[in-house]
Structures are given as C-alpha cells and as structure tokens.
Amino acid sequence: MSNAIDRRVAFVTGASRGIGKAIALRLAADGRHVVCVARNADQLQAVVGEIAAAGGAAEPLACDVGDGEALAAAIDGVADRCGRLDILVNNAGITRDGLLMRMSDADFDDVIRVNLRSAFVACRAAARPMMRARFGRIINMASIAGIMGNPGQANYAASKAGLIGMTKSIAKEIGSKGITANVVAPGFIQTDMTEVLPQALKDAVMPNIPLRSFGKASDIAAAVAYLASDDAGYVTGHVLQVDGGLAM
C-alpha cells in the first residue's frame, strides 16, 4: 500500500456501532485515517480505541448529522485540519416505522432529514476539497427498501430511494473531476436493529433470500472498502446490492 493511500482521509457517519463501526474498522485496517462521526461520544471513543489498538489511525467527531450546519462545518473542519478529504461514507440513518395511515408528518420529515438531507449536505461539503484534489470517493448507504419498498416504511424507503437518485445525479455532475459516487444497498444484516425484529418476520423473510442467511456487517464493510479503493476507479453511479439475492 502506497504512502499516498495510507494518508487518505475517510469521513464515516454513524460510525459508533453496527454497520458504521464495521466500515470504520475496515477502512482503518486498509490504511485510511478514519474520522468516526456519530452523536454518542463515548461509543465513538470506544471505536477509535479499538482501531488504535489494532494499529490504525482514527479520531472521534461527535456530531448530529441531522443538523446540516454542524455537519457541513465538521466536514470543512476535517478538510482544513487534514489538508484533504478523500472518502465520504454517508451511513447514519434512523427509522420511524408506521403504516401510511398512521404515519405523522413529523415521522416522515425526520427520516428524510436524517437519512437523505444530511447526505446531500455532506456530499456538497465534501465535494469541494475532493474537486480541488481531483480525487474522491462518495459512498451513500441505501437499502433494498429503497429498491423494492417495505410495508410500514414509506418514509425510510423514500429516503433510501432518494439517496439512489441523488447519487446517480452526483456521479454525472462531478465524475469529470475524478470523483466517483456510488451506493451500497444492504439487505437483512445482523445488527442491533435486526436482532429485535420478531422471529416470525425473520422466518418469513428467510425463504426469499437465495443464500438463506442474513448478512454480516463485515459484508457491507467489504463492499464499501472496494468502492473506496483504487480498484473501483472506473465504477460510478452504481448501486451495489449486498442482500444475499433478496432483491433480484
């Protein structure tokens, strides 16, 4: 691994647990300096400590991504302090599930604000240092819910479908500057969120997954690591489904 790659700076939101933590650990293992972003400072510090113990480089940055001004300022600060920003992973997200007729405007708006608008704000802020460097990797975390829908998740599915359309547009806008923009769309992954799902729901889903198992957070991290690498330099505007074949 070259020194230039070793020095690349990655900004990962939602990095305190689950998929985001796995992404931060993998990018650090690949030699990136990882800025781990989330609201919970204690959890972030634990992730950074784990990375440091493994010989990697990382720093915590406590920030509510739903606050657009704070998020943009955080990205600008990292780019100024580090002199670069090479990789952006928009992973942070929330759910406010409910059937259409019972879903409040607030529940719809909150999910769009955190899952979609924050990614837009982050992409816009990160694009500036990436364009100056004529290199960048933008990776937005969607979901198969944004491809095939999911009952009780009109807000969540809308936010993830929006991420897909936005990412494809960004890829066309800034590809000439050496920046790629791609989407990873996970299926059912073993995380804290899926652990609390009713067993009946898990049993109903499993026959529809050709690989007959839920994925691991490391499976998603591996997909992100690929899209963040030089090996994916000619891949942009792509939706990489990591779902065991569920949304074929």
pLDDT of residue 196: 78
Rounded to whole angstroms, the Cα distance separating 41 from 48 reads 10
pLDDT of residue 1: 46
pLDDT of residue 198: 82
Rounded to whole angstroms, the Cα distance separating 212 from 215 reads 10
pLDDT of residue 244: 98
Separation in Å, CA 97 to CA 2, 4, 163, 211: 45, 43, 18, 27
Which stretches within the chain are classed as H helix?
3-6, 18-29, 41-53, 68-82, 105-112, 118-133, 145-148, 154-174, 192-195, 199-205, 217-227
Mind telling me the catalytic residues?
A: 156
Rounded to whole angstroms, the Cα distance separating 235 from 211 reads 26
Give phi and psi for 21, each to the nearest 5: -65, -45
Q: Which of 82, 25, 71 is nearest to 48 (CA)?
A: 25
Give phi and psi for 76, each to the nearest 5: -60, -40
Q: Which of 208, 217, 93, 248 is nearest to 158 (CA)?
A: 93
What is the architecture of the domain spanning 3-238?
3-Layer(aba) Sandwich (3.40)
- Sketch the domain layout of the chain as residue ranges: 3-238
Separation in Å, CA 79 to CA 9, 148, 186: 9, 36, 29
pTM over 0.85: yes
Separation in Å, CA 153 to CA 14, 119, 158: 20, 19, 8
Give 85's DSSP letter.
-
pLDDT of residue 4: 59
Checking 99-103 for CB contacts under 8 A at 24+ apart, the result is 99/151, 99/152, 100/154, 103/154, 103/155
Residues of the chain with pLDDT under 50: 1
Q: What is the pLDDT of residues 124-161, one digit of tens each?
A: 999 999 999 999 999 999 999 999 999 999 999 999 99
